[in-house]
């Protein structure tokens, strides 16, 4: 399903206006220190320049931005740095992983194509060597007949080389396309199976007991004049909504409070583009096209609406080499998100729980490989602290293999109790994607190791670059947080109490009361 071409007007938003619009209370000093780091770690990418670790102060590396291919639509527009040799050498482990994750990846096809590519590369290299030998022979004194024979041999080798090189390019392109379906490997502690096999990692609080008949958030939203689904359905279609009155303030309060709390942990705030190139969506591990895609594509372009800020934040450092001293890079990004919700239906998706457009604050981390599990624990701890502060009853799940998606090495989901809906509902997740995304986005770092001086003319040898690990986690998905707050904080008189941490961001409002009619 695609959208008609969109006509958008862009409004410049400086960092100062961002803070003045969102923050309703002074920013603490440690937060200002975090903002000061922003200019040191976020650099323009046209081109991205990194000063290499070198004895020479003039040693600068330029990494060109990814460019779309001008070739036919069948050719991949980008190439992932997939370790095909590792896949071949660990075939059994990869095969088990594909099965456990319920993936349809064609491992046999990948290995066969890789073997064919290796053999063809050897053939190409052999012909190149023959051409070089012919060229060397022609430099000496030769009989005219011998020279003529070598000229003909050189022409023949050139024609053969051109054909083989074309075949090699086609084979490499096909290998890239087929290999993209192979999912990330899985943490050894992840439960094997479907969603029902997921393990409870932690449980906080207990369901609130009510002494009066409870309402769901749809009824509360209607009675308190907070949410209008009917008008939005006429204007935009199903699964859209208007927020009204105190609900608008509640959305802003949730976002402001979340940003201020997460920034205290050293995260840099961002607002992101909400339209990105399809290739960026693919590189992050999502499928922008297909019958069951969750991504809205813009007709007649190579662009999509984002389903999460993880996608544009992942692209900030695309095709770049970072300094190890700059890591970790920790971002908290606000954006609107757009999802088709293909295949979603039934009572479990009613109201605000599953919608096409919503606001969200997303955490994103780039770090050294050896640190990613530590940061995964930090992200889930931040989420748990936020939801505990709001007084929610929730459980943290270690998601089973079949529910991980392609990029995640391990994923923790948090499900909160929603009394009006009578069930737990997912309000956030935290994923460690290891180097799955960085190999596709081309994000590396150069270790801070001593420069080695080679024997040849004293040239310095830089340490080899490595791929960063990326992690993402939901800090606040506004609609589902509203479901939790409205349903858990409802009172017998029909009002809803605002949790204490949000009140300074609500202009002093402590209770949402029924309107006088």
Catalytic-role residue among 103, 260, 429, 431: 429
Beta strands in 290-447 (DSSP E): 297-298, 303-305, 320-323, 329-338, 357-367, 394-398, 410-418, 423-432, 443-446
**CA dist., res. 335 & res. 363, Å (int):** 11
101, 180, 277, 354: the catalytic one is 354
The two tokens of residue 118 are 């290796």
Catalytic residue list contains 429: yes
Following CA atoms 120, 122, 125, 131 in sequence, which dihedral angle do they give, to the nearest 10 degrees? -80
Cα–Cα–Cα angle for 83, 380, 322, rounded to 5 degrees: 45
Beta carbons of 309 and 282 less than 8 angstroms apart: no
CB-side neighbour CA atoms (13 Å) of 369: 15
- Where does 48-106 have alpha helices with state H? 84-89, 91-100
- The residue annotated as part of the active site, out of 128, 389, 426, 495, is 426
211 is catalytic: no
> Which residue among the candidates 410, 439, 440, 480 is catalytic per the annotation?
480
Alpha carbon distances (Å) from 25 to 236, 266, 267 = 35, 19, 18
Choosing from 101, 180, 277, 339, which is the catalytic residue? 339
Nearest to 505 by CA among 17, 27, 34, 16: 27
448 catalytic, yes or no?
no
Q: Which residues of 238-265 are buried (b: 16+ CB within 10 A; e: fewer)?
A: ebbbebeebbebbbbbbbbbbbbbbbeb
Question: Catalytic amino acids?
Answer: 339, 354, 426, 429, 480
């Amino acid at each position: 399903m695609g959208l008609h071409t969109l006509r958008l007007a862009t409004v410049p938003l400086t960092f100062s206006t961002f803070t003045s619009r969102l923050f309703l209370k002074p920013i603490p000093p440690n937060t200002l220190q975090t903002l000061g780091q922003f200019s040191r770690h976020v650099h323009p990418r046209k081109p991205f320049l990194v000063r290499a670790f070198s004895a020479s102060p003039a040693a600068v590396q330029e990494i060109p931005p990814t460019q779309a291919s001008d070739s036919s639509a069948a050719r991949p527009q980008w190439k992932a740095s997939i370790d095909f040799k590792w896949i071949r050498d660990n075939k059994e482990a990869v095969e088990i992983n594909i099965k456990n994750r319920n993936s349809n990846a064609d491992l046999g096809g990948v290995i066969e194509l890789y073997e064919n590519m290796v053999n063809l590369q050897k053939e190409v290299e052999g012909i190149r060597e023959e051409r070089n030998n012919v060229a060397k022979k022609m430099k000496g004194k030769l009989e005219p007949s011998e020279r003529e024979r070598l000229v003909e041999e050189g022409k023949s080798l050139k024609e053969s080389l051109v054909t083989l090189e074309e075949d090699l390019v086609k084979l490499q392109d096909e290998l890239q396309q087929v290999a993209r379906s192979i999912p990330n490997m899985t943490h050894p502690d992840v439960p094997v199976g479907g969603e029902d096999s997921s393990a409870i990692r932690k449980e906080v609080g207990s369901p609130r007991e009510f002494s009066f008949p409870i309402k769901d958030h749809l009824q509360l939203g209607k009675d308190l004049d907070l949410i209008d689904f009917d008008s939005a359905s006429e204007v935009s279609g199903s699964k859209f909504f208007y927020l009204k009155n105190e609900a608008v303030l509640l959305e802003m309060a949730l976002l402001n409070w979340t940003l201020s709390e997460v920034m205290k942990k050293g995260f840099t705030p961002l607002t992101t583009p909400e339209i990105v190139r399809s290739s960026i969506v693919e590189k992050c591990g999502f499928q922008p096209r297909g019958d069951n895609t969750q991504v809205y594509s813009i007709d007649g372009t190579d662009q999509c609406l984002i389903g999460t800020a993880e996608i544009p934040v992942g692209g900030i450092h695309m095709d770049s080499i970072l300094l190890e001293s700059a890591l970790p890079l920790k971002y908290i990004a606000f954006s609107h998100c757009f999802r088709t919700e293909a295949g979603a239906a039934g009572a479990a998706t009613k109201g605000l729980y599953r919608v096409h457009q919503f606001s969200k604050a997303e955490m994103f981390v780039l770090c050294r490989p050896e640190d990613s599990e530590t940061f995964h624990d930090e992200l889930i701890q931040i989420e748990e602290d936020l939801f505990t502060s709001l007084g929610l009853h929730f459980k943290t799940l270690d998601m089973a293999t079949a529910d991980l998606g392609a990029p995640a090495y391990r994923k923790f989901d948090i499900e909160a109790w929603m009394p009006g809906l009578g069930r737990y509902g997912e309000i956030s997740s935290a994923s460690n994607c290891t180097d799955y995304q960085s190999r596709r986005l081309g994000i590396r770092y150069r270790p801070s190791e001593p420069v080695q001086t080679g024997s040849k003319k004293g040239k310095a040898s830089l340490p080899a670059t490595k791929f960063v690990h990326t992690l993402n986690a939901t800090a606040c998905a506004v609609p589902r947080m509203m479901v939790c707050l409205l349903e858990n904080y409802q009172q017998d008189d029909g009002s809803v109490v605002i949790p204490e941490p949000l009140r300074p961001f609500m202009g002093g409002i402590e209770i949402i009361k029924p309107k006088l009619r």
